């Protein structure tokens, strides 16, 4: 019984990631990699936000850019909005809805990119962050799931992983997409790769 459940879960995960083969997903990955390349070439930065597991994905995304992905190359400026002092101060004084938008007000500049991850598309703090980012002239990118929620069709670019009821399957596909985007970004910016040497943990 457990083995059947395990195999069913693995197959479900595979089906979620297969969503990335759909034309709109491939177009998103291609477009997002180019947006990031243009952003970094212009000396701009990326701000990334999410809640819970999506915040962990945001941090993962940022460290792959500031640190290393597969091969040594120049560090790329990315910030996951996760600093505890900022989050708790803003939540306490204004409300949790504003924890990400307040950081965008602090760090965001025209030409920067804001990436919001929300498997429902309805997280109030991500919705508010996208609104503020757009008002400040940032390019907005969303990673969505289920029906897309309030954010469907709002951002400049969006990835939709629909057809799955639980956030874990959606987040697995989001993370796979993030890795592929970074792979394409590095091909755009660093081909051939730098001769620097470094390890990756």
- Residue 70 included in any domain: yes
pLDDT bracket for residue 191 (50, 70, 90): confident
Provide the 8-state DSSP code for 12: H
| Beta-bridge partners for 114 | 47, 140
d(CA 94, CA 88): 10
As a whole number, mean pLDDT of residues 127-136 equals 98
Residue 98 corresponds to which tokens in the numbers above?
């504003």
- Residue 82 included in any domain: yes
**Count of structural domains, the chain:** 1
- Residue 31 included in any domain: yes
- Residue 199 included in any domain: no
- Residue 55 included in any domain: yes
Q: What is the pLDDT of residues 57-107, one digit of tens each?
A: 999 999 999 999 998 999 999 999 999 999 999 999 999 999 999 999 999
Which CATH number covers residue 100?
A: 3.40.50.10490
Among 193, 178, 191, smallest CA distance to 32 is for 178
Q: What is the pTM of this model?
A: 0.93
The pLDDT of residue 195 is 40
pLDDT exceeds 50 at position 196:
no
Burial of 71 (0-12, 13-18, 19+ CB in 10 A): middle
Domain extent, residue 128, equals: 2-189
Local structure of 65: helix, strand or coil = helix
The pLDDT of residue 1 is 86
């Amino acid at each position: 019984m457990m083995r059947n459940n395990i195999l069913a879960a693995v197959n479900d995960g595979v089906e979620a990631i297969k969503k990335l083969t759909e034309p709109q997903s491939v177009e998103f990955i291609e477009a997002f990699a180019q947006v990031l390349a243009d952003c970094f070439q212009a000396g701009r930065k990326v701000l990334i936000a999410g809640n819970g597991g999506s915040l962990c994905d945001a941090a993962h995304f940022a460290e792959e850019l500031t640190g290393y992905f597969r091969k040594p190359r120049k560090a790329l400026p990315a910030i996951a909005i996760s600093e505890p002092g900022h989050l708790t101060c803003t939540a306490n004084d204004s409300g949790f809805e504003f924890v990400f938008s307040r950081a965008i007000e602090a760090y965001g500049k025209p030409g920067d990119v804001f990436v919001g991850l929300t498997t429902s598309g309805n997280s109030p703090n991500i919705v508010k962050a996208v609104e503020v980012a757009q008002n400040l002239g940032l390019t907005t990118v969303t990673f969505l799931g289920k029906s897309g929620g309030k954010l469907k069709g709002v951002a400049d670019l969006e990835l939709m992983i629909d057809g799955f009821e639980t956030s874990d399957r959606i987040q697995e596909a989001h993370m796979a997409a993030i890795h592929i985007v970074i792979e394409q970004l590095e091909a755009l910016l660093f081909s051939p790769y730098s001769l620097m040497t470094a390890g990756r943990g």
